[in-house]
Structure 1
Amino acid sequence: NVFDGTDPQAYLAAYRCGGEPKPSSQWQGENINRFCDPAYDAMIDELARTGDLARRGELGKKMNDMLTKDSFTIVPLVDRGRVSAHANSLGGVVLNVFDSELWNAADWYRIGN
């Protein structure tokens, strides 16, 4: 159960109904927890159609709550904090809890004196 990247869509879609391992799929499938909720599936479909970042954030938070505090499908047990630093002369650095410190390195720039 590992999330990687900055967009949660692929991770959250793994909990769609029908994605559970079963004999007909030779026990292949990402939904090993067997979570199934038609309302959740509808939100995954909306997330796939939505480009608005604020709406995507709302949907992601609602789906996360459905998987964690509403159904206990996922029980987060560990929160590993990290320490990050950068020079005061480096601009555009935005830390992201879901990815490495370098995720937006293409947007970094030097701040002049």
Structure 2
Amino acid sequence: MKKVASLRYGVIFKKAFCDPEIFTAFVRDMVGVEIEIDHVETEKEFDPSIGRVQSRFDLFAQDIKNRVIVDIQHKRLPDHYHRFMHYHCAALLEQVPNSYDYQPPMTVFTI
């Protein structure tokens, strides 16, 4: 029998889902969107940070239309929802070019 590492561990999860083919299939299955990417970033941060908290995305990929964030949570913590919302909002706000145009050019999916 072949041994398989548990996806419960962040390092294993990131290694498995950093493959663009696996990542795009995961996104398609989760949100029904086809994305075209050639790489997946891990531990992605925006520079400069958006707001007072530096967001660090576990997995991050984008094409010309979509920005996809995968945040790995193995157990539910009291701030789980707020952290998720902060990451999603930061990914939207980072795209706003100026005070005359608030519409981000890419759709953001946070999984």
Scaled by the length of structure 1, the TM-score of the pair is 0.28
Which structure has the greater CA radius of gyration? 1
Higher-strand-fraction structure: 2
Higher-helix-fraction structure: 1
